[in-house]
Structure 1
Amino acid sequence: MRPLLGMYVLGRLDDREFVALRAHLDGCPDCRSELRELSPVAAALSEADPDRLTEPLPLPPAALPDTIFGALDRERGRQRYRRIGLVAAAASAAIGLAAGGFVLRGITVSGPPGQPVAFTALSPGVAASARVENRAWGTGISLDVTGLPQGGTYNVWLQRPDGSRMNAGSFIGGGDRTMSMQLAVGLPMSDATTLGVSAPGDDRALLQAPLRS
């Protein structure tokens, strides 16, 4: 949501982005703090008048185009080498399989990351599934939700043992369409007891899943 803050203070967000950002700000003190810093800057922009400039505008260095295009050429070269390496690895794997197909019995296909959670509380007509994954910085959340009223804004959170909650993000309900999202929250799984979804300003959980047996 952070890239939207500048557009927000300039009044350039569409209705959907505006609603989503407002919902996010309700649970994110860092973004609220950054918004307070950006607001006076945006207000000052209206005072900027290019006609008042008395000195000529500074020009970029003459070597800037060569620097930019040189960097692009180097990046293209790195990507080309990566593609060659991937093709070579795939060819080596194909040769290995052709020489000894019996090794396939030892290969297992990994499922989605994280562990599944079971929702014990669901609003009528709502279906949801989720997986949570412990990360070095906190908890990653994969969430699929169907049946929440279209256009409504909803907060996803983790709850601590003391009942306090940490917001993991917000999303817009899609009605009969499944809404899939990847979220993150700076709270370790070991410090959380519940994954939940609620409407902004309403403590009642529309969806709730325990994280501890």
Structure 2
Amino acid sequence: MTADQCQHMRSLLGMHALHRLDPAATAAVQAHLDGCRQCRTELRELRGVAGALRLADPDRVTDEPAGPPTSLRTAVFTAVDHERRRQRVGRTARLVAAAAAVLIVAVGVVVVVSSQRFLSTDSQPVAFTTQPAGVHASASVENRNWGTSVALDVTGLPQGQRYAVWLERPDGSRMPAGSFIAGGDKKMSMQLAVGLPMSEAAALGVSTPTDQSPILRAPLHS
């Protein structure tokens, strides 16, 4: 297995742990797992997370949840940098990204947070050049040691429709960053992570799982 194959398949392991992939994608992931011991190990860990999420109570998710403590961001990224020095940051970052995707799909909502708590002065705003009428979206990206952090705000997408967020490479291939369920006129604010360096990404986009045409698309480099 090549590193690119593993990286792509690991981005689907969270959905696979929840049995949310379509039959074709499930077959492709299973075929990869048959020959990849490392991905099988990660899937076992994610299944434990998926099992614990069955105990979650979606009714306790409020419209205005309490924000995380200000020390959370520093603690999280300090831990990630420490893991990198021990040459384990790649695996840790993929687990964090996949676990975040599992949480979004399992609860069925995107928890609204104050994006200002997560963004640093190094974040770069991007402008959407593809954006339907009535839809308002803004985003910023930030380069990290493990890939790219994406902050996305969206209002006006049809309520209840699921959307996929991705980074696009110069050759047109895409790296998934996560998914969300639109809230109609309610503003959806998301903090996403993808294991693709910002220097290797040409655009940020949003599409439906059944149609690859971008509904929202923003170039990352002028």
TM-score normalised to structure 1 length: 0.52
The partner residue of 2:208 within 195, 199, 203 is 199
Q: CA RMSD in A?
A: 3.6
Change (3 A) 1:4 1:209: closer
- Secondary structure of 2:134's match? coil
1:161-209 Cα deviation digits (max 9, x unpaired): 0010111000000000011111010100000000000000211100000
Change (3 A) 1:22 1:179: farther
Aligned 1:174-213 pairs, distance under 5 A: 174-213=183-222
| Cα offset, 1:22, TM superposition | 4.2
- For 1:184 and 1:22, the matched residues in 2 are separated by 20
| Cα offset, 1:120, TM superposition | 0.8
- For 1:168 and 1:198, the matched residues in 2 are separated by 12
1:112 aligns with 2:119: yes
CA contact (8 A) 1:145 1:178 kept: yes
- For 1:2 and 1:193, the matched residues in 2 are separated by 25
* Ranges in structure 2 where 5+ consecutive residues have no aligned partner: 1-11, 34-39, 48-116
Aligned 1:42-191 pairs, distance under 5 A: 112-113=119-120, 114-191=123-200
- For 2:180 and 2:25, the matched residues in 1 are separated by 13
- For 2:16 and 2:175, the matched residues in 1 are separated by 21
* Ranges in structure 1 where 5+ consecutive residues have no aligned partner: 10-20, 42-109
Q: What is the identity percentage for the equivalent residue pairs of Structure 1 and Structure 2?
A: 55
Aligned length: 129
- For 2:171 and 2:13, the matched residues in 1 are separated by 29
Question: Which ranges of 4 or more aligned residues in structure 1 deviate by more than 2 Å?
Answer: 1-6, 25-30, 32-35, 110-113
TM-score normalised to structure 2 length: 0.50
